[in-house]
Chain A
Amino acid sequence: MKKEEAKVIIDIRNMYKIYEMGSEEVHALDGVNLQIREHEFVAIIGPSGSGKSTLMNMIGCLDTPTSGEYILDGISIENYTENELAHIRNVKIGFIFQQFNLFRRLTALENVEMPAKYNRVPVEERRARAVEALKMVGLGERIYHRPTELSGGQQQRVAIARSLVNKPPILLADEPTGNLDSKSGEEIMKMMHQLHSEGNTIILITHDNDIAEEADRVVRIFDGRIHEDKQKGAK
């Protein structure tokens, strides 16, 4: 399969995100153009404060730009209502955060079920899907554990299971290994590769070169601008 022929699913055009800090302006995004096709595995790398998270929040429809356009799956984000954006976050995008962002009071199973619940999936089916997702990340034995009873790596795997439960085509991971030891980090990366091979579009944010090199395409961002966009093997 030639990647160039796959459809562009994420299309960011001349995007700015400017924060006013008193009299000063912070250009978190400073004219970003980025196209990502279906089934790509893209790493976005840059130093801390370079705008990676801001970019990911834009891609994930969590934030709105100061100016510029974001066309997701052929439709400009501006045309969506608040409810439709919630639905997109629910079924088109799976989020994986550096801090896992699980609900402490809920079990692994209940955490994983959440997005399906917001998608109004009937209880039985939702449960079955959540169990399946937890099995896939190797936590079939721990579905009734709460986050506090799991290691960091296991918590991140619960978060991955949660991101998968509605089978979204796009996975957004913001420094998913940032809070993990290297062994757990490797396991998570292995999982990313597997999900990519199963057809997911993966966008991975990192400040770690070694991790970025595992992706097929590396986008370097600095001070809110894209400095380099390199396909692997293209050189």
Chain B
Amino acid sequence: MVYTEAFISAVKAIWAHKMRSFLTMLGIIIGIFSVTALISVAQGTTASVTSSIESMGSNLLTINIMDRRTSLDAKDIEAISELEGVGMVSPYVQSTYTLRSSISTMEDISTYGVNADYTKIVEYTLATGRELTDEDSDKRMRVAVLGSEVATELYNTADAAIGQEISIGGTRFTVVGVLESEGTSSSGNEDEMILIPFSTAQRMMKNTDISSIYASATSSDTVELAQENIEDYLYQVSGSEDNYMVFNQSEVLESLEGVTGTLTMMLGGIAAISLLVGGIGIMNIMLVSVTERTREIGIQKAIGATRKDILTQFLIEAILVSGLGGLLGLGLAYVSTGPLGSVLDMTVEIESWVVIVSIGFSLAVGIVFGIYPAIRASKLNPIDALRYE
């Protein structure tokens, strides 16, 4: 009951100085807004990258050969695919080319040379036509499977692309298939790329070394077994642990989460500084307010207010200003998630823990920066306060 009344009189006191209260609040509004918005953007980034990595299949293993002298060939690929725990294996080479159809041109499009299993390993689905086959690779066929955006850009629709000619860096290929849209991932826009047979690509790119391989484990339980076996095999082939790297998706995710976690902390930390500035603003105004009301405090004490009464009154006022500022900042962040999301091209959502932390923070700022002025007010000597003009 006592607190309800203190609350009501705090509302009145804040209302009596509307403009000043609002300006004081502004620091907290901006602080909470930036904390919430930045953390949510960081979270959104993490979520979209994570989901695209997860969409590539949790059984995926990525193999990179770092040593130029270690040269793998088709037999090694065959051998790796025979290892226990390993399912499918596809080497890949990548380069960028200008693509041309009778209708349109696209520049700098990632072109992957892969074998038949690649689309299954990374879990792409075919929209129309057929996938690349072992025969395509064996015979160095000039056939291509297009990402969905490439198909629509060069042939208007996916279906229209099938059977059409495509010039890849000046070499003529035939379109045999088009993929479903996959969206954007850490490896770029997966709809704006094309796949061609590995052997064909090797020749085009004048690159006979196999330095990058995608493999899948037979199931999610055998990922580690497959990884160990591949590592053992590569050790035998290359002679040193430093010559190759084998990642599984959970490792990639972990290191990525480490990075985005740091990012979130950094952005949140920077925003927290603005909150600190807001808090100092509150302290400043509360000190002014205590001085202004010195005489009032004297009268209150003369008619029986205890230190605690005065302390509660000023503290509630400070908490109310910062709490209200926090709510407004949060509201502003909510309103801005839509526009922010569309500008950044991702889903920006304010998670409930961010809401709780924001409100907690703004209340804490009120307490931390309100307590000193409140204590000062409560400790005023009644007679000095009464004499104050």
Contacts and interface: CB of A to CB of B under 8 A. Distances in A.
B307 A95 contact: no
B304 A101 contact: no
A37 interface: no
B203 to A, nearest CB: 88
- Chief secondary structure at chain B's binding surface: helix
A101 B2 CA distance: 23
Contacts of A33: none
B303 A95 contact: yes
Given A86-B304, A89-B304, A118-B306, A57 B383 contact: yes
- Chief secondary structure at chain A's binding surface: helix
B304 A63 contact: no
A119 B304 contact: yes
Interface stretch (B294-302, B341-349, B351-359): B294-302
Nearest to A166: B304
A89 B299 CA distance: 11
Interface string A96-140: 000001010100000000110111101100000000000000000
B2 A83 contact: no
B300 A62 contact: no
Interface in B295-328: 295-296, 299-309
Interface core residue of B295, B381, B382 (most chain A CB under 10 Å): B382
B3 to A, nearest CB: 12
Counting contact residues on chain A (CB < 8 A from B), the size range is 20 to 34
Contacts of A46: none
Given A62-B386, A105-B16, A118-B309, A89 B5 contact: no
A82 B12 contact: no
A24 to B, nearest CB: 19
Contact of B12 (A89, A95, A105): A105
Interface string B12-33: 1000100000000000000000
A89 B309 contact: no
Contact of A86 (B2, B16, B301, B383): B301
A162 interface: yes
A60 B306 contact: no
Interface in A57-86: 57, 60, 62-63, 82-83, 86
Contacts of B386: 62, 101
A87 interface: yes
A224 to B, nearest CB: 16
B306 A86 contact: yes
B304 A91 contact: yes
Contacts of A86: 301, 304-307, 309
B299 A118 contact: no
Contacts of B382: 62-63, 89
Interface string B348-380: 000000000000000000000000000000000
Interface of A: 57, 60, 62-63, 82-83, 86-87, 89-91, 95, 101, 103, 105, 114-115, 117-120, 122-123, 162-163, 166
